[in-house]
Structure 1
Amino acid sequence: MRPHVNQRQARVLELVRARGSVRVADLARELGISPVTLRRDIEAMAARGEIQRVHGAISRVEQGRPPGAPRPVPAAAGGRGGGAGGGAGLVVGMVVPTTEYYYADVVRGAREAVEARGARLTVGLTRYLPGEDRTQADRLLSTGAHGLLLTPNWEAGSPGPGEGAWTAELPVPTVLVERWAPPGHPAAALDRVSSDHAHGAARAVQHLVGLGHRRIALASRTTPTTARLRAGYEAAVAALGLEPAPPWPPTGPGPVSDADLFARALEYLYGAVTTGGVTAALIHSDTDAIMLIPRLQARGVRVPEDLAVITYDDEVAGMADVPLSAVAPAKHEVGARAANLLLDRLTGGDPLPDTPRQHLDLLPRLTIRS
């Protein structure tokens, strides 16, 4: 049975006075209570002036400091001397699926922003393995991360029912990166920085309409980006009064190999052009487009005469034999903005519950290549 709240808070105060300072995560484990419960205790005790809170930890109140007086920022935070906004001595943990392809620029942007403020970035990789995001987050916290930049393994880019609630219970400030939580989900209250993929898809559709196309397809295998792309694509089709393209074929039950998914995309586009009246397509991603186009041409579909193509991601679109127009999410800026937002939280102290969180959506750019 858990101790009564007064007994629990008394025990917290006893441990803090004995040790000087203690990490919130370590204290929650020692007391056998959830980080959320401990945070409520900490908020009440800090409001009474019994302890002070800094960067995922709590410490005793110095002798002679009156309750409610401003809390000093420890040397580890760098005050305002560690670059723009401080940060010297802080460790930022970043959990991402990979440091390749799309996330190479995201991680690079975060690293540059962190180092510019005198802090250090440590990275945990998940390779999209189930449950690995939580394992990596715990590992980074155990090695001293003061805050987390987190890209959970949510297949649709946002958590399914009952998924991902743990992200809202982490004992340090956390910023979601390129992930979204629906209203009402616990993670929806976290800070978030992401690309507005829906806007990017709609921007591509608008450009193709400006070229005279009235039936435009979206070809995208299932990725964490797909749901947002499809939402923007469908909204633009409706808003512009376009003729609907043939529906994307259902995947069906059971796992499907990459080869099968690629073949499905090829058959969909070929049929959409030859019998479905489609004259343009947004293809996600660049690599799929570069592989699909010669196969379509081998079947007699001319690009761009029969099918105008815009790709999504813009990683390698400019290196195709005929450079492709592409929508480019601001990946580097997403990483930098997320890191600076987290460092602002850390250098300002552990924010109070009523401090507004931020959801930043950065608009992708459309690059036209002839």
Structure 2
Amino acid sequence: MRLHVDQRHERVLELVRERGSLRVAELAAELGVSAVTLRRDVETLATQGRVQRLHGAVVWPDEASAEMGARQESAESVVIGMIVPTTASIFADIVRGAREAVGEWGGRLVLGVSGYVDTEDAVQAGHLVAGGAAGLLVAPSWSGGVPVDGQEQWLLDRDVPTVLVERSAPPGNPAAALDRVRTDRAHGAAVAVGHFAALGHRRITAVLQEGPHAAQIIAGYESAVHSLGLDGDPGAPSVREHGDYEASVDYLVDAVRARGVTAALVHGDEDAIVLVPRLQARGIRVPDDLALIAYDDEVAGLADVPLTAVAPPKRSVGELAAKLLLQRLAECGSGRPPAPRQHVELLPELRIRASCGGGTLAR
């Protein structure tokens, strides 16, 4: 028999008073309600000052302040190392998110930068761990976004908890057992293709940078084109070196004039901004002749023709990765079995601007 909300609140108070603290998931299971319902109950009781929430647990107020103080005291000495290939582009916000999350725990984030040099990752990791880092957040300099030829070995040799950031390892690779947090870039590409389709575009191409995220974006592009029954450009997706603008312009001009392409996904913002005036100089107007969506949304809104863009949740990636690592560190001293490893993927959003136009195509 389901308890009335007031009865449920009283039962929550009774159980927490008896045991001092309970995890939300355990309490929900004991009461036979969903975790969502239980969290709502706890939020109400916490607002009333009758219990206190504490990192997935419900704590009786007399014990909450002491436990919080102990956690803060231990966290003051926690140093988290973070290795990124650059502090520019998407990683600027990822680092900010991680720094804020670590700071909320009273810890300190220390940064290492590899410069996209594969061998530098291990050097930076050794330096950070020797300097006192209790755990590592790592975006390795894997050119394809995944390790090849044993590139993951240095990660496995580190005797500290490690969370991959915006990187992954394929099933069967030892690094696949690591926690990771990344953007689902395939989903973002599929959302972009779906938006083009909703506007009436049938033949869509892609011009992408070579790099760690290209494979995911290609996969999302191809899957969405197939699922939506669109006429993908026979020459697409096109993966080119960053800055290969003349080749990209030639490719797009030919795609529009010879193959009837009316929309393009371009990764990333900087390339898209450079391409627009060059296309217009060749008689291809954006969005009249070619609708365009950029990928990353770092500066897309500042273009002369403001660019619709796929926006990864960059700050949230850093924040969640840091919280996951801090959770692992807390487990190390708790005496409890560690929670299952996690592969977390966050969905990007599409920010609509002028570069797509709005009318349905006649052709």
Match of 1:81 among 69, 72, 75: 69
1:297 aligns with 2:280: yes
Q: What displacement does 1:249 show?
A: 8.2
1:95 aligns with 2:104: no
Confirm or deny that 1:359 pairs with 2:347: no
Which residue number in structure 2 is paired with residue 169 of structure 1? 157
Structure 2 residue 113 is matched with structure 1 residue 130: no
The equivalent residue for 2:230 is 242
Query: Structure 2 vs 1, CA of residues 87 and 228 (structure 1 numbering), >3 Å: closer, same or farther?
Result: same
| Paired AA for residue 132 in structure 1 | E
Q: Percent identity?
A: 53
The 8 Å contact of residues 87 and 343 in structure 1, kept in 2 or not, is answered as no
| Larger relative helix fraction | 2
What corresponds to 2:265 in structure 1?
282
Give the deviation of 1:274 after TM superposition: 1.2
Determine whether 1:188 maps to 2:171. no
- Total equivalences in the alignment: 288
The answer to whether the Cα contact below 8 Å between 1:126 and 1:132 also exists between their aligned partners in 2 is yes
| Amino acid paired to 1:102 | I
CA separation of 1:237 and 1:250: change in aligned 2, threshold 3 A: closer
SS of 1:175's partner is strand
Q: Is 1:341 aligned with 2:324?
A: yes
The runs of 5 or more residues in structure 1 that have no matched partner are 1-77
Report the CA distance between 1:334 and its aligned residue: 0.1
- Secondary structure (helix, strand or coil) at the match of 2:252 reads helix
Per the alignment, residue 4 of structure 1 pairs with: none
Q: Which residue identity is paired with 2:246? A: A
Deviation at 1:356, TM superposition (A): 1.0
Q: Distance in 2 between matches of 1:359 and 1:84?
A: 27
Question: Partner residue of 2:221?
Answer: 233
Which amino acid is the alignment partner of residue 342 of structure 1?
L
Q: SS of the residue aligned with 1:275?
A: helix
Secondary structure of the residue that 2:332 maps to in structure 1?
coil
SS in 2 for 1:348: helix
CA contact (8 A) 1:168 1:189 kept: no
- Opposite residue 301 of structure 1, the aligned amino acid is I
- Measure how far apart 1:169 and its partner are: 2.8
Residue 206 of structure 2 is matched in structure 1 by 218
Asked if the contact 1:79/1:86 (under 8 Å) is kept, the reply is no
Q: Which amino acid aligns with 1:173?
A: P
Whole-angstrom CA distance in 1 between matches of 2:328 and 2:269: 36
Aligned residue for 1:141? Answer: 129
1:250 CA drift (Å): 7.7
The unaligned stretches of length 5 or more in structure 2 are 1-65, 355-363
Give distance in 1, aligned partners of 2:245 and 2:120. Answer: 27
Q: Does the C-alpha gap of structure 1 residues 210 and 336 become closer, same or farther in structure 2, counting only changes over 3 Å?
A: same
Residue identity opposite 1:87 in structure 2? A
The answer to whether the Cα contact below 8 Å between 1:246 and 1:272 also exists between their aligned partners in 2 is no
Structure 1 counterpart of 2:31: none
Q: 1:193 to 1:250 in 2, by over 3 A?
A: closer
CA contact 1:85–1:347 (8 Å) conserved in 2: no
Q: d(CA) in 2 for partners of 1:328 and 1:349? A: 35
The equivalent residue for 1:53 is none
Structure 1 residues 266-275 or 297-306, which shifts more?
266-275
> Does 1:307 pair with 2:283?
no
| Equivalent position SS for 2:259 | coil
Deviation at 1:164, TM superposition (A): 1.5
Distance in 2 (alpha carbons) for counterparts of 1:169 and 1:282:
39
Rounded Cα–Cα distance in structure 1 between residues aligned with 2:226 and 2:73: 44
Cα deviation, residue 130, structure 1: 2.7
Helix, strand or coil at the partner of 2:136: strand
Letter in 2 for 1:93: G
Residue 118 and residue 264 in structure 1: after superposition, are their counterparts in 2 closer, same or farther (change >3 A)? Answer: same
8 Å contact 1:155–1:224 — kept in the other structure?
yes
Paired residues of 1:204 and 1:310 also in contact (CA < 8 A): yes
Distance 1:368 1:219 in 2: 19
**Residues 180 and 343 in structure 2, CA contact (< 8 A), matched pair in contact too:** yes
CA deviation map 1:194-235 (0-9, x unaligned):
000000000000011000001111110201111100000001
The answer on whether the counterparts of 2:207 and 2:238 sit within 8 Å (CA) in structure 1 is no
Match of residue 266, structure 1, among 249, 274, 288: 249
Distance 1:79 1:268 in 2: 62
2:192 is paired with a residue whose SS is helix
How far, CA to CA, are the matches of 1:249 and 1:124 in structure 2?
34
AA partner of residue 206 (structure 1) = G
The answer to whether the Cα contact below 8 Å between 2:209 and 2:242 also exists between their aligned partners in 1 is: no
Partner of 1:116: 104
Q: Give the match for residue 167 of structure 2.
A: 179
Q: Name the CA distance, whole Å, in 1 between partners of 2:277 and 2:223.
A: 30
Deviations 1:255-303 (A, max 9, x none): x9754x2222222111111112110011100110000010000000111
Aligned twin of 1:208? 196
Cα distance change of structure 1 residues 258 and 206 upon mapping to structure 2, 3 Å threshold: closer
Which residue of the partner structure matches residue 314 of structure 2?
331
Determine if contact 1:249/1:268 at 8 Å carries over to the other structure: no
Contact 2:188–2:350, Cα closer than 8 Å, also in 1: yes
